[in-house]
Amino acid sequence: MVSPVGGFRSRFTRQHGSYSGVFPCFFGGFLPRLLSSMASAWVAALFTKHLKEIRERVAGRMPVFVVSYPKLVSEPMSVAEAVREFLGINLDARAMAAQADPGLYRNRK
């Protein structure tokens, strides 16, 4: 039995001499980028849905403190103080704020 791809290759080669210049531009560039962006969007949508479900499950059961990563990087001291206040224990906010490294924040928009 001839595979569909193999059969196509031989038919295309017989009719056009070669197929080598047709598919690399599609499979080597456009399609991988398209699939990658679709996968990224799909993963982001799943993650957003998951976070929403978690927040709904925990709502009313326990206190939750949400930290915005961009805010943590741009204003580490205020976030550290807010975390300390939320936990209600004496923590060294300066030491916590010193751990935020803006150089590690690569996904700026």
* Domain region containing 53: 1-59
Residue type, 24: P
pTM of the predicted protein model: 0.51
Return the pLDDT at 84.
Answer: 93
- The CA distance from 3 to 104, in Å, is 48
- The series of mean pLDDT values per 10 residues for the chain, 109 residues long, is 50 53 54 74 88 86 86 91 93 90 68
DSSP 26: I
- Do 24 and 70 reside in the same domain of the chain? no
Return the pLDDT at 11.
Answer: 57
Return the pLDDT at 92.
Answer: 93
- Do 37 and 86 reside in the same domain of the chain? no
Return the pLDDT at 13.
Answer: 55
- Do 39 and 9 reside in the same domain of the chain? yes
> Both tokens of residue 99?
């751990």
Q: What's the domain count of the chain?
A: 2
- Do 4 and 48 reside in the same domain of the chain? yes
- Do 76 and 90 reside in the same domain of the chain? yes
Residues 6+ away with beta carbon under 8 Å from 96: 76, 80, 83, 84
